[in-house]
Chain A
Amino acid sequence: MSVAVRPAPLRVGGAQRLIHRVVLYGLVVALAGWVLGPFVWLFVTSVSYQRNLLARPFTLIPPEITTENYRMIFGLVRFHAEVQAARILPALLNSVIVAVAVTTLNLVIGSAAGYAYARCAFPLKRVSLYLILFTRMLPTIVLMPAFFLMLRSFGLQNTLTGLAIAYSSFTLPFTVWIMKSYFETIPRDLEGSGLVDGCTRLQVYRRIVLPMSGPGLVASGAFTFMLCWNEFVIAQVLNSKPTTTTLPPIIAGMMGQANIDYSVIAASGFLSALPAVLLAVVFQRYMVQGLTAGSVKG
């Protein structure tokens, strides 16, 4: 897989090689600008004053830097929209609770099922696998009218439990799928030796297979957390109360208000994006492996 030790192609001569390098690094810089530029600008606006963003001529480097936007969000300075801003931290906590709960549930239940699909022959295996694949491509929003009435009947409307249940509908199939393709890459020999030693199949799974499955668990865990953390429309629909909803609907609600400066919204947007971005950058290798395997394997 690694191509790092590939010898340099011999055909490229000195001058040609230089041109090749210049073009390549030019493209790399362009790519970095395209991928990172907008995100960096979000941060720049979040530490700027609105008046400088509106100023003309426009300047890429802000003339003043301030943490006031962040202090407003954290309730450290009083301003006219402090009621809305005060909802951000509780919503952040709600986001953490829902994302952690769903991720934990997914890892426990989803990896068990993934293992069954990778290793066992059991009744309805093909049919249920097909159902899971279909669920992955389902428009989740079509389930929401049903969820709306179901949660209302169960008294779970506007609760974090209700939201976590709804989130399992689109995360669990992914987890099963990613874990299934991960377990398929583990050689079977070790499990066989475990069985010979008298372990039950469940013991083999827990003591031998799971400890070897770090990369797969990290990939599906990080992905699930990210999906929940970023989810917006379902939270907006099912948990309309500001006190029981997650971060995205709160921030989207602020966006629509003319009296809140863009710089404040940029600060809350940057803050809300940070956990998922860090997760993706830190666990990039595992997520890429897990998602690639999950996409190309049947």
Chain B
Amino acid sequence: MARSDARFGALMSAPALLIILVVVAFPLLYSLWMSLAEVNLLKTSGPALEFFGIRLPLFRFVGLENYIRVFTDPLYWSSLARTVYFVAAFVVEATLVGLSMALVLHQRFRGRPLMRAVLLIPWALSRVAVGILWQGLLDADFGALNGILHRLGLIDSYIGFFANGFSALNVLVSVYMWNQAPFATVLFLAGLQAIPEDLHASAAVDGAGFWRELWYVVLPALKPMIFLVVVLCTVNGFLMLDLTFVMTMGGPGDDTTSVAWLGYKTAFVFFKFGPGTAILYTLTVLCVLLTFVYQRIILAKFEAEA
């Protein structure tokens, strides 16, 4: 029985694992190799991997040269600083807004099923659509938010939200938060539903108001979920790339250039694959560490409770 179980399991998982090896593990190693090589896309003769008549150029091995170039570039460090700011602001905003929405949606009110259904709309939109949509709200010529503020007499002239670098970066944080917070809400709602009813009841008997109950009953019970949301948002924040592409292109200047955008630009705008993969690999290492945290601390915790 045990042996047939092993054979059946291996057969069932083999196709998926094979595909993952070919489309994830191999490209990951190939990219790693490129980060250690001098990649000239026009000159692909020289050493190569050959199999079944297909030839993958290996280029010239240069050791850590690309990494040294990246680490001595001030733009890399300023991009890293911006990324850290972006991630921190995004995690705080997404957690707070996600939790607030969950607290509202956990109440009983008319139309709650409908609200829960439309909750996912911002999250289901492509980043291209999100970018278009927020341009419609924030544009300095026709943005609706500008229009409303102007109509209310709160501003004299339309604001250029993307004209100033720091403002553009913060707008990017908030727009990404708008897009991602619903997922945090979904996780928080699951966490809220798991809080035993008698905890609420005893809090009510004690005469605890909303804020006291939130602080002493709800938040402690949600702790693992909050931690999960923080880790997932941290990963998503570090990897965010498409919204930068659609909304700011890393500008004005380099003011919204994150590590992911710098890596993308180096690899696919300037076609410098060597330094580009080196930059992206620094992000990858970070994600390995975060996966470790996720697996060790969070999944282990939920597992223990289940």
Q: How far is the CB of A264 from chain B (nearest CB, A)?
A: 11
Contact of B136 among A115, A262, A287 (CB under 8 A): A262
Assembled-state Cα–Cα distance A149/B30 (Å):
10
Query: Which of the segments B2-10, B69-77, B160-168 contacts the partner chain?
Result: B2-10
B159 to chain A, nearest CB (A): 13
**Chain A residues whose CB sits within 8 angstroms of the CB of B212 once the complex forms:** none
Q: List 7 A-B contacts (CB under 8 A).
A: A10-B204, A60-B148, A125-B13, A143-B31, A230-B127, A231-B126, A273-B129
**Residues from chain A with Cβ under 8 Å of B241 in the complex:** 141, 233
Q: How many residue-residue contacts, CB under 8 A, span A and B?
A: 320
Interface magnitude class on chain A: 35 or more
Q: A58-B151, A120-B9, A202-B8 are in contact. Are A28 and B115 (CB under 8 A)?
A: yes
Please provide the chain B residues from 7 to 21 with a CB less than 8 Å away from any CB of chain A in the complex.
7-10, 12-13, 15-17, 19-20
Closest B residue, CB atoms, query A289:
B190
Do residues B19 and A229 form an inter-chain contact, with CB atoms below 8 A?
no
The range of chain B's interface size is: 35 or more
The stretch among B85-93, B116-124, B215-223 that forms the contact with chain A is: B116-124
Q: Kindly identify which residue among B24, B121, B150 contacts A138, using a CB–CB cutoff of 8 Å.
A: B24
- Tell me, rounded to whole Å, the shortest Cβ–Cβ distance linking B280 to chain A: 4
Q: Are A31 and B104 in contact (CB under 8 A)?
A: yes
Contact A137:B290 (CB < 8 A) given known A39-B121, A109-B19, A252-B246: yes
CB under 8 Å from chain B, chain A span 255-292: 255, 262, 265-266, 269-270, 272-273, 276-277, 279-281, 284, 287-288, 291-292
Q: Is A117 an interface residue (CB 8 A)?
A: yes
Q: A109-B15, A298-B302 are in contact. Are A146 and B118 (CB under 8 A)?
A: no
How many Å lie between the Cα of A143 and that of B129 in the bound state? 25
Given known contacts A54-B141, A113-B15, A298-B295, A277 and B121 CB-to-CB distance under 8 angstroms: yes
How many angstroms between the C-alpha atoms of A115 and B186 in the bound complex? 25
Q: Does B171 reach chain A (CB closer than 8 Å)? A: no
The residue on A at minimum CB distance from B280 is A142
A165 at the interface (CB under 8 A from B): yes
Q: How far is the CA of A289 from the CA of B187 in the complex (A)?
A: 10
Which secondary structure dominates chain B's binding surface? helix
In Å, the complex CA distance between A25 and B104 comes to 9
Query: When chains A and B are docked, how far (Å) is the Cα of A292 from the Cα of B232?
Result: 12
- Residues from chain A with Cβ under 8 Å of B24 in the complex: 131, 135, 138, 143, 169, 173
Q: Give Cα A10 to B281, complex, Å.
A: 58
Chain B positions within 8 Å of A, measured between CB atoms, are 2, 4-10, 12-13, 15-17, 19-20, 23-28, 30-31, 34, 39, 41, 54-57, 101, 104-105, 107-109, 111, 115-129, 131-137, 139, 141-142, 144, 146-148, 150-151, 178, 182-183, 186-187, 189-190, 193, 197, 204, 207, 225, 228, 232, 235, 238-239, 241-242, 245-246, 260, 263-264, 267-268, 273, 276-277, 280-281, 283-284, 287-288, 290-291, 294-295, 298-300, 302-303, 306
B143 to chain A, nearest CB (A): 9
Q: Which residue of A lies closest to B287 (CB)?
A: A137
Listed residue (B26, B116, B120, B268) with the most chain A CB atoms within 10 angstroms of its CB: B120
Provided the pairs A38-B134, A132-B20, A233-B264 are in contact, do residues A11 and B204 lie with their beta carbons within 8 angstroms? yes
- Whether A138 and B28, one on each chain, are in contact in the complex, defined by CB atoms closer than 8 angstroms, is yes
A272 and B126 within 8 A (CB) = yes
A148 to B56, CA, bound (A): 11
Shortest A32–chain B CB gap in Å is: 7
List the A residue with the shortest CB-CB distance to B135.
A262
Closest beta carbon of chain A to B59's beta carbon, Å? 10
B interface footprint on A221-238 (CB within 8 Å = 1, 0 otherwise): 000001001111100110
